[in-house]
């Protein structure tokens, strides 16, 4: 074995060994989190890795940075093969993939090496330009974060340059080894030829530079926010944000088991997956750019939530696991939390995620709109951390905005978040000849459909009109349906979103008892929050029903031509439809409400707000925000309504009673007279009778 080979073996073992030590350290840190099983649905998870990880589906949602990042990622995949070949050549100079690959495949491989090296170089140059010249708002960060990004970009650029130079020198040494497919290397060789008379020596230098750079890059990653290079594919596989777990479904709490700590006030109360999310964050800021709270000037930033979680882990885990903190790169520790930063072991133990890194105010500003989760290119679930921390605030520390206390009390006493008399729940239906489940059961009958009215539809004056409109459609189509009447009460979703899992489980369990007593199979509802809760979260507690949102139900009736409609005449009506987060992002129902509008009103011209469908902007009511004051920044509903009004719409259509309230308030704030109608009201307005 030559001296050079021995040296290479030594350097490789050293580099790989140090990297393995770091990986092992990070895994140990992650294990201070709570256990969670993510081994289900391997096929779906693998599909996510292919679509989101390898094909970079979510990365392309950003038309500028997306292609740039995808190029770097794909380039890395392709060029890793080239780097392995180069390293093996360090032991055996004659080694080449050409020895065993079919000729055409080797040519393709050789071609891809040159082309991708150049493309990645171009992408790196563009990334430098964005960071140093354009300064996009979502990439804002402190000096350390910028330095970290520039170091990584510099190393990626260095890897590409040295790779091309090794090939170019190789061509000068032995032209037969570099075919015409590596035309870029050949071109560089042509430029080098007159400059240096010792291509073999030069190749040796570039070769060592490339190998050392690979090892330095690999070992820098665990100390950098670019750790995601290593973790993101694993994170996508283990994520539940794109199936197999349904998006936005909250983790059920075992209230019997979790007696000492409800929810999370520190990193060890989160799951290992939440902590892996922290390792995987690229700090791209896409989540924060999409966050309605942040957009309207509030301090909540989902990026900060995830970065702070990682920073706190890096502060606490070394102490808890007995590691020494000096090993840590400041980029992983310093950051956006007020008290974030290198701390003594004593301070590290005194600190906690809540208050020292993440404030109560931030947590209560979240509307649970899921935009952050939707946008994250590496399938991080920022909302899960927020929800767990809200649970701790409410159940462990009794800290929450004072205005939600009445909602909790009313849910407990009256079965609705408002202090209405439960006896008035079915008053909206008086005179409409709608049977209750109890009445039908007395006659030994069971309807095909249960119309779940919801608390808004039952008590809110404006939403009651939506309930009436939907009931009129059902009757006009001769649908066999009933309501629960006074036996209906809130399923507890607002309590769950506001962190009160106890109250939620109490209300939900009771509701399931009622539904099962009547052997309910199919439920329709005009509220996306009820739709999501009954359909997606009730199964956690043993309630399994087919739940259909009224947009889908009406669309099916219209498609089957069962709805007796007047023929629409007159001027075209310009309508803008506002997507509800719990219908759209949570459940991917985007077309049904639009189709319903188009089918019911052929004279309608549908216009879209700039932020629509899965990029839709929240109305501001979700996550219990409906019951809280909005004390900081611009009101979210005002921002959204201005955007809808700017489309020139003559009517704004919604498919959610919460959106109805928020957008109507927004229209009033804008002193506009544009009507806001639920899609059921649009259809009911066209009924023949
Ligand atoms: S769920 Fe919505 S409001 Fe909450 S942090 Fe994410 S983007 Fe912001
Ligand atoms: S959480 Fe996801 S979207 Fe947000 S900054 Fe991190 S990687 Fe980007």
pLDDT tens profile 452-463: 999 999 999 999
pLDDT > 90 fraction of the chain, expressed in percent and rounded: 79
358 lines ligand 1 (CB under 6 A): no
Ligand lying closest to the C-alpha of residue 625: 1
Does 75 have pLDDT greater than 60? yes
Same domain, 614 and 524: no
Q: Flag whether 21 is in a domain.
A: yes
Ligand 1 center to 274 CA (angstroms): 16
Same domain, 522 and 649: no
Q: What is the mean pLDDT of residues 329-343?
A: 50
- Output the pLDDT for position 679: 98
Query: Cβ distance 365 to 292 under 8 Å?
Result: no
CA-nearest residue, atom 6 of ligand 2: 281
CA distance 454 to 480: 19
Q: What is the mean pLDDT of residues 371-381?
A: 96
Q: Flag whether 230 is in a domain.
A: no
What are the start-end ranges of the H helices in 480-537? 493-497, 501-517, 528-532
Atom of ligand 2 nearest to the CA of 307: 6
CA 118, distance to chain mean position in Å, is 32
283 lines ligand 2 (CB under 6 A): yes
CA distance 223 to 247: 31
- Output the pLDDT for position 160: 93
Ligand 1 center to 85 CA (angstroms): 45
CATH number of the domain that residue 450 is part of? 3.40.50
Same domain, 332 and 315: yes
Atom of ligand 1 nearest to the CA of 290: 7
Per the model's pLDDT, the better-predicted residue between 293 and 336 turns out to be 293
DSSP codes joined into one string, 443-454: TT---SEEEE-H
285 lines ligand 2 (CB under 6 A): yes
Domain limit, last residue, from 530, 557, 584: 557
366 lines ligand 1 (CB under 6 A): yes
Does 273 have pLDDT greater than 70? yes
Please give the radius of gyration of the chain, using alpha carbons only, rounded to the nearest integer: 30
375 lines ligand 2 (CB under 6 A): yes
Q: What is the mean pLDDT of residues 105-118?
A: 93
Of 208, 162, 204, the C-alpha closest to 185 is: 162
369 lines ligand 1 (CB under 6 A): yes
300 lines ligand 1 (CB under 6 A): yes
363 lines ligand 1 (CB under 6 A): no
What's the first-to-final CA gap in the chain, in angstroms?
A: 94
Find the domain containing 517 and state its range: 404-557
Our count of domains for the chain comes to 4
Does 156 have pLDDT greater than 60? yes
Domain limit, last residue, from 399, 418, 449: 399
- Output the pLDDT for position 400: 97
CA distance 67 to 77: 15
Does 364 have pLDDT greater than 70? yes
Query: Cβ distance 500 to 394 under 8 Å?
Result: yes
Same domain, 370 and 418: no
Q: What is the mean pLDDT of residues 103-120?
A: 93
Which H/E stretch holds residue 251? none
Ligand 2 center to 280 CA (angstroms): 8
Ligand 2 center to 81 CA (angstroms): 28
Ligand 1 center to 617 CA (angstroms): 10
Ligand 2 center to 373 CA (angstroms): 9
Question: Taken in order 322, 326, 332, 336, is the CA torsion positive or negative?
Answer: positive
- Output the pLDDT for position 514: 98
CA 398, distance to chain mean position in Å, is 28
Atom of ligand 1 nearest to the CA of 373: 6
pLDDT > 70 fraction of the chain, expressed in percent and rounded: 96
CA distance 320 to 274: 18
Query: Cβ distance 113 to 182 under 8 Å?
Result: yes
644 lines ligand 2 (CB under 6 A): no
Q: Flag whether 44 is in a domain.
A: no
Q: Flag whether 84 is in a domain.
A: yes
Q: What is the mean pLDDT of residues 412-416?
A: 96
Same domain, 197 and 278: no
Per-residue pLDDT band at 526 (split at 50, 70, 90): very high
CA distance 619 to 629: 14
Ligand 2 center to 162 CA (angstroms): 31
CA distance 658 to 655: 9
CA distance 261 to 623: 22
Burial class (CB in 10 A: 0-12, 13-18, 19+), 174: exposed
376 lines ligand 2 (CB under 6 A): yes
Does 337 have pLDDT greater than 50? no
- Output the pLDDT for position 334: 45
Q: Identify the three-state secondary structure at position 141.
A: coil
CA distance 89 to 115: 21
CA triple 662-666-667, angle to 5 deg = 120
- Output the pLDDT for position 336: 47
Atom of ligand 1 nearest to the CA of 368: 1
Q: Identify the three-state secondary structure at position 652.
A: strand
What are the start-end ranges of the H helices in 460-500? 461-476, 493-497
CA distance 617 to 384: 20
CA distance 311 to 348: 11
CA-nearest residue, atom 7 of ligand 1: 291
Give the phi and the psi of residue 548 in degrees, each rounded to 5: -125, 130
Q: Identify the three-state secondary structure at position 575.
A: strand
CA-nearest residue, atom 8 of ligand 2: 284
Q: Identify the three-state secondary structure at position 291.
A: coil
Atom of ligand 1 nearest to the CA of 287: 7
Q: What share of the chain is helix, strand, coil (3-state, %, to 5)?
A: 60, 5, 35
Same domain, 376 and 431: no
Atom of ligand 2 nearest to the CA of 375: 3
Atom of ligand 2 nearest to the CA of 288: 4
Residues facing residue 606 across a β-bridge: 575
| CA-to-CA separations, 273 to 32, 118, 237, 241, in angstroms, rounded | 11, 36, 11, 12
Domain limit, last residue, from 557, 579, 608: 557
- Output the pLDDT for position 342: 61
Question: In testing the pocket of ligand 1, which one of 247, 369, 622 has its CB within 8 Å of the most ligand atoms?
Answer: 369
- Output the pLDDT for position 602: 82
Q: Flag whether 228 is in a domain.
A: no
Does 681 have pLDDT greater than 60? yes
CA-nearest residue, atom 8 of ligand 1: 291
Same domain, 160 and 179: yes
Q: Flag whether 231 is in a domain.
A: no
Q: Flag whether 51 is in a domain.
A: no
Same domain, 445 and 543: yes
284 lines ligand 2 (CB under 6 A): yes
Per the model's pLDDT, the better-predicted residue between 146 and 614 turns out to be 614
Q: Flag whether 667 is in a domain.
A: yes
580 lines ligand 1 (CB under 6 A): no
Same domain, 448 and 378: no
CA-nearest residue, atom 2 of ligand 2: 376
380 lines ligand 2 (CB under 6 A): yes
382 lines ligand 2 (CB under 6 A): yes
- Output the pLDDT for position 568: 74
Ligand 1 center to 538 CA (angstroms): 23
Ligand 1 center to 371 CA (angstroms): 6
Ligand 2 center to 377 CA (angstroms): 7
CATH number of the domain that residue 307 is part of? 1.10.1060
pTM of the entire predicted model? 0.92
**Count of positions (residues) in the chain:** 689
Same domain, 366 and 430: no
Of 364, 373, 388, the C-alpha closest to 287 is: 373
Same domain, 72 and 92: yes
Same domain, 574 and 537: no
Ligand 1 center to 115 CA (angstroms): 40
Ligand 1 center to 90 CA (angstroms): 51
How many CA atoms lie less than 13 Å away from 535 in the CB half-sphere? 22
| CA-to-CA separations, 525 to 1, 300, 513, 623, in angstroms, rounded | 75, 32, 19, 19
- Output the pLDDT for position 338: 46
Tens-digit pLDDT profile for residues 550-609: 999 999 999 999 999 988 777 789 999 999 999 999 999 999 999 999 999 888 899 999
148 lines ligand 2 (CB under 6 A): no
Per-residue pLDDT band at 259 (split at 50, 70, 90): low
CA triple 271-276-280, angle to 5 deg = 150
Ligand 2 center to 285 CA (angstroms): 5
């Amino acid at each position: 074995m030559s001296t050079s080979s021995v040296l290479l073996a030594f350097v490789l073992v050293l580099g790989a060994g140090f990297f393995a030590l770091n990986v092992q350290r990070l895994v140990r840190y992650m294990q201070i989190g709570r256990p969670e099983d993510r081994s289900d649905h391997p096929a779906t998870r693998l599909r996510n890795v292919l679509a989101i990880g390898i094909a970079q589906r979510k990365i392309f949602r950003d038309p500028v940075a997306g292609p740039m990042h995808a190029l770097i990622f794909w380039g890395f995949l392709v060029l890793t093969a080239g780097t392995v070949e180069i390293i093996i050549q360090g032991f055996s100079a004659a080694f080449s993939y050409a020895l065993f690959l079919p000729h055409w495949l080797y040519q393709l491989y050789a071609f891809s090496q040159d082309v991708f090296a150049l493309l990645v170089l171009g992408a790196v140059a563009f990334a430098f330009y964005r960071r140093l010249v354009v300064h996009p708002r979502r990439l804002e960060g402190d000096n350390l974060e910028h330095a970290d990004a520039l170091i990584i970009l510099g190393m990626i650029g260095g890897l590409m340059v040295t790779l091309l130079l090794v090939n170019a020198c190789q061509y000068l040494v032995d032209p037969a080894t570099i075919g015409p497919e590596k035309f870029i290397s050949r071109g560089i060789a042509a430029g080098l030829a007159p400059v240096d008379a010792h291509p073999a020596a030069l190749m040796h230098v570039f070769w060592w530079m490339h190998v050392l750079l690979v090892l330095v890059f690999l070992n820098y990653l665990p100390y950098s926010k670019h750790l995601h290079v290593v973790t993101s594919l694993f994170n996508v596989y283990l994520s539940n944000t794109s199936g197999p777990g349904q998006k936005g479904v909250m983790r059920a709490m075992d209230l019997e088991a979790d007696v000492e700590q409800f929810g999370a006030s520190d990193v060890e109360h989160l799951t290992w997956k939440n902590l892996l999310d922290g390792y995987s964050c690229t700090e791209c800021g896409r989540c924060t750019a999409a966050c309605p709270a942040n957009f309207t000037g509030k301090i909540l930033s989902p990026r900060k939530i995830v970065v702070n979680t990682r920073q706190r882990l890096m502060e606490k885990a070394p102490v808890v696991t007995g590691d020494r903190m000096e090993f840590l790169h400041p980029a992983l520790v310093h950051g956006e939390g007020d008290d974030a930063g290198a701390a003594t072991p004593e301070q590290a133990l005194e600190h906690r995620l809540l208050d020292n890194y993440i404030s109560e105010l931030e947590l209560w500003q979240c509307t649970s709109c899921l935009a952050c989760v939707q946008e994250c290119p590496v399938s991080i679930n920022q909302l899960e951390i927020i929800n767990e921390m809200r649970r701790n605030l409410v159940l462990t520390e009794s800290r929450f905005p004072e205005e939600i206390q009445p909602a909790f009390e009313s849910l407990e006493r009256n079965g609705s978040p408002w202090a209405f008399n439960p006896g008035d729940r079915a008053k909206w239906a008086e005179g409409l000849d709608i049977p209750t489940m109890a009445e039908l059961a007395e006659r030994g009958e069971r309807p095909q459909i249960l119309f779940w009215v919801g608390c808004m539809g039952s008590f809110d004056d404006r939403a009651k009109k939506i309930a009436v409109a939907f009931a009129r459609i059902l009757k006009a189509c001769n649908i066999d349906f009933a309501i629960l009447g006074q036996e209906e009460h809130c399923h507890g979703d607002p309590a769950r979103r506001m962190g009160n899992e106890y109250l939620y489980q109490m209300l939900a369990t009771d509701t399931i008892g009622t539904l099962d007593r009547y052997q309910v199979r199919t439920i329709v509802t005009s509220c996306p929050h009820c739709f999501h809760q009954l359909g997606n979260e009730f199964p956690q507690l043993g309630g399994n029903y087919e739940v259909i949102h009224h947009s889908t139900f009406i669309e099916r009736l219209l498609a089957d031509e069962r709805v007796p409609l007047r023929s629409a005449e007159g001027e075209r009506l310009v309508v803008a439809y506002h997507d509800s987060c719990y219908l759209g992002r949570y459940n991917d129902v985007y077309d049904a409400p639009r189709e319903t509008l188009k089918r019911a009103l052929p004279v309608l011209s549908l216009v879209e707000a700039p932020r629509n469908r899965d990029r839709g902007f929240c109305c501001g009511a979700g996550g219990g925000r409906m019951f809280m004051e909005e004390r900081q920044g611009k009101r979210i509903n005002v921002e959204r309504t201005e955007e809808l009004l700017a489309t020139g719409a003559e009517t704004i259509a919604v498919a959610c009673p919460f959106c109805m309230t928020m957008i109507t308030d927004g229209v009033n704030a804008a002193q506009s007279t544009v009507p806001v109608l639920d899609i059921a009201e649009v259809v009911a307005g066209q009924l023949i009778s």
